[in-house]
Structure 1
Amino acid sequence: MNLAIALGLLIFGFAILIKGADFLVDGASAVAKKFDISDMIIGLTIVSFGTSAPELVVNIGAAWEGKNAMIIGNVLGSNIFNTCLIIGAAGLIYPLAVQKATVRKELPFSIFIILLMFFLANDALVFGGENYVSHIDGIILLLFFGAFLYYVYTSSKNADNSDNIEIIEEIPLPKSLLYIIGGMTGLIIGGNLVLDNSLVFAKYFGMTERVIGLTVIAIGTSLPELATSVVAAMKKNSDIAMGNVVGSNIFNILLVLGFSSTISPTLIEYDTAANFDIGFLLSATIVLTAFLFIGTRVKPTTGGSLTYTIDRWQAGVLLMAVIGYIVYLLLAQPV
Structure 2
Amino acid sequence: MVLFLFILAAAIVVFAAVQLNKYGDVISEKSTLSGAMVGGLLIAGATSLPELTTSLTAVYIDNPDIAVGNMLGSNVFNLLILASVDLFYRKRRAFNQLRSSEQVPSVIAGIIFTGLVVVAILWNETPSFLDIGLEMYLLVIGYILVLKMFDGNPEGQTDESAAESRNINITLKRAVVNFILFALIVFASGSVLSITGDRLAEISGMNASFVGSVLIAASTSLPELVTVVVAFRMANYAMAAGSILGSNIFNLMLLVVTDAFYRESAILQGTSPAMIWTALLGVLMMIVMLYILMRKDKQTNIGYAWPSILIVLMYLVLSYMIF
* TM-score normalised by structure 1 residue count: 0.81
Q: What is the CA–CA distance in structure 2 between the aligned matches of 1:226 and 1:104, rounded to whole Å?
A: 21
- 1:1-335 paired onto structure 2 within 5 Å: 5-38=1-34, 40-41=36-37, 43-83=39-79, 85-94=80-89, 95-97=93-95, 98-124=98-124, 134=132, 136-156=134-154, 159=155, 161=157, 163=159, 167-168=163-164, 169=167, 171-253=170-252, 255-267=253-265, 268=267, 269-294=270-295, 296-298=297-299, 311-330=304-323
67-76 or 44-53, which deviates more: 44-53
Distance 1:146 1:160, change over 3 A: closer
Does structure 2 retain, via aligned residues, the 8 Å contact 1:81–1:219?
A: yes
Alpha-carbon distance between aligned partners in 1 of 2:233 and 2:21, rounded to the nearest angstrom: 23
Tell whether the 8 Å contact from 1:58 to 1:194 is kept in structure 2 after alignment: yes
Measured against aligned partners, the alpha-carbon deviations of 1:99-137 in whole angstroms (never above 9, x if no partner) come to 22245422111111111222334444667xx9x982554
Structure 2 gaps of 5+ residues are none
Q: Is the 8 A contact 1:63 1:260 kept in 2?
A: yes
Q: Which ranges in structure 1 are unaligned for 5 or more consecutive residues? A: 300-308, 331-335
1:21, 1:182 → 2: CA distance? 11
Structure 1 range deviating more: 229-238 or 161-170: 161-170
Q: Distance in 2 between matches of 1:50 and 1:217?
A: 17
**Structure 2 contact 131–263 (Cα < 8 Å) conserved:** no
Write the distance in 2 (CA, Å) between the matches of 1:114 and 1:133. 20
Per-residue displacement from partner, 1:51-75 (whole Å, max 9, x unpaired)?
2111111111112222111111111
Change (3 A) 1:116 1:298: same
Q: Percent identity?
A: 22
- Give secondary structure in 1 for the equivalent of 2:217: helix
* Corresponding residue for residue 305 of structure 1: none
Residue 317 of structure 1 aligns with an amino acid whose one-letter code is L
What displacement does 1:184 show? 2.0
Return closer, same or farther for 1:17/1:101 CA change in 2, 3 Å cut-off: same
Aligned residues: 310
Q: 1:167 is paired with a residue of what secondary structure?
A: helix
3-state SS of the aligned residue for 1:155? coil
CA contact (8 A) 1:79 1:252 kept: yes
Shift of 1:202: 0.8
The whole-number CA distance in structure 2 between the counterparts of 1:91 and 1:240 is 13
User: For 1:47 and 1:151, how far apart are their aligned partners in 2?
Assistant: 19
- Normalized against structure 2, the TM-score is what? 0.84
**2-side partners of 1:233 and 1:23: how far apart?**
19
Conserved in 2, the CA contact under 8 Å of 1:295 and 1:310?
A: no
Q: Is the Cα contact below 8 Å between 2:19 and 2:182 reproduced in 1?
A: yes
Contact preservation (8 Å) 1:92, 1:316: yes
Distance 2:114 2:264 in 1: 23
For residue 166 of structure 1, report the CA deviation from its aligned partner: 6.1
Deviations 1:209-245 (A, max 9, x none): 1110011001101101112112322333222221111
Change (3 A) 1:126 1:266: closer
Conserved in 2, the CA contact under 8 Å of 1:69 and 1:271? yes
| Cα deviation digits, residues 28-79 of structure 1 (max 9, x gap) | 4444544334364454221122221111111111122221111111111111
Task: Sort the Cα spacing of 1:310 and 1:120 in 2 relative to 1 into closer, same or farther, 3 A.
Answer: farther
**Which amino acid letter does the alignment assign opposite residue 21 of structure 1?**
A
CA drift of 1:293 comes to: 2.9
